Chain A
Amino acid sequence: MSSSREAIFARLRDANPKVKTMETIAYQPWVSNETEVLKTRFIDGLSASHAEVLTTNRHALNETLKTLIIEKQFARIAIGTGGDLHSEIVKAISLVQITHPLNILQFDVDFAQCKSQLFNDIDAGITHCRVGIADTGTLVLWPDNTEPRTLSLIPPAHIALIKRSTIVSNFAELMVTEAWQNKMPTNIVLVSGPSKTADIQQTLAYGAHGPSQLVVILIEDM
């Protein structure tokens, strides 16, 4: 329908708007250089949005993850195939399996082949996070071949692993320092809590269509 395109552009160009230059007002989001302040705000924000935050260190990560899985009685777990902490995830799973039966879906096939299992037979998905944003208590997910998009979306619980050293002040700073404009992946998702809705009589309810539980494991690495 290229004639529609031409017609729309003709009308827009016809208006001949006077081009406005870049505004001089700067965005001033919340910012801090103190790592303790960043950490506290990050945890507070996520907790206020109903996420559970567990703090651990890299050494104890597999124990933390193991305990979490057992306590929450997750019996069917989906995981990716790579990432920095992948070996710890695998380790935690094998620790659980010593005492508890655990079904694992390793997401290494096309979505069409594991779609039904993801929707119907999985309790939790585990993913890494690229960055944390302290300002709003937000996780930045950057799904890729090893951790597909639906891993953090379809299972009713999402376990997100994040290293404390990745926490930045705010969203604007993040995209500038990482020069996102040069390397946008297929999909980036900012997650700030479990799925929710207030569509019925302004009453907040969790677990609308996304995960109803979000467990964040914050790994001390500084």
Chain B
Amino acid sequence: MAPITEVEHLTNPLVTVEQLYSLQDDDRNHAENGQSVRYAQAVLTQAAGILLRLPQDVVATSLVLLQRFWVENLGQGHATADLKIASEASIYLSAKLSFTPVSPRSVCNVYAYLLSTSSSLPFIGCPPPSAATPPGPQSYYVSEGSYEREREKILLCESLILSSIGFDVHVALPHTLALTYVQALGVSSRKLVKRVLEHLNGGLLSPQLLYLTHQPNALAVAAIYLAAKEVGVKLVDGNWWEVFDVEREDLGFLVLAFGSFVGFAAAEKERWENEREKLRELLSGGG
């Protein structure tokens, strides 16, 4: 078993209705679809986390911090130059808070690669098969000068994130909780557990900001509920979710959200694949 890395504090701060309405207003004021942009940024962040070999919980934390930042710092996210920097800063910050810190230099390198034409990100990298010469490492080389400038921006953004979210950097994740619940329900199905984790991870990228609207216990329960139906595992009779303090309406909402995520992600992928250049520019900050 993995070592216990940190106390599992049970709850997260939640988004308020007012905050959600302002987010919606803000989205309307911008040409680019806010959900789409946030999703792309989240995918970029996650990919960076993986390349930086950060543990899953650190990446998850950075995604949630990024969402809190969006909500509290409206208008900023759409200013294109900030998308990449904010993503870098949230990864850098959550790694710093963890047992596996990373240097600003590796963060810059990884993002340069991910936003280059050689990118391994399916909807950012240029489709290489047809290209005469596949793009090489020079396409993501970061010079000392541009590194210095970028680092300044990242560090400034780190502080901006911190003060925007009132230094509330703790993120309670539902993953371990979900495993405990599955056990408590007396089920032992690898398939089920795998599916539960997939839903929880998908939920992190959901444009509905699920980790800001619901507490970990509700996320865990909904993922279990949906996964059990999908893989055909029968759970106990009765309203078992109530035992975990989850109400029927929350459960319904989350099951919907988890269930529709795959479709959403596929649509987004298709959409951006046709607009690679635009997305790259949007994320790297055209100016």
Q: Indicate whether A and B interact.
A: no
> CB within 8 Å of A: which residues of B?
none
> CB within 8 Å of B: which residues of A?
none
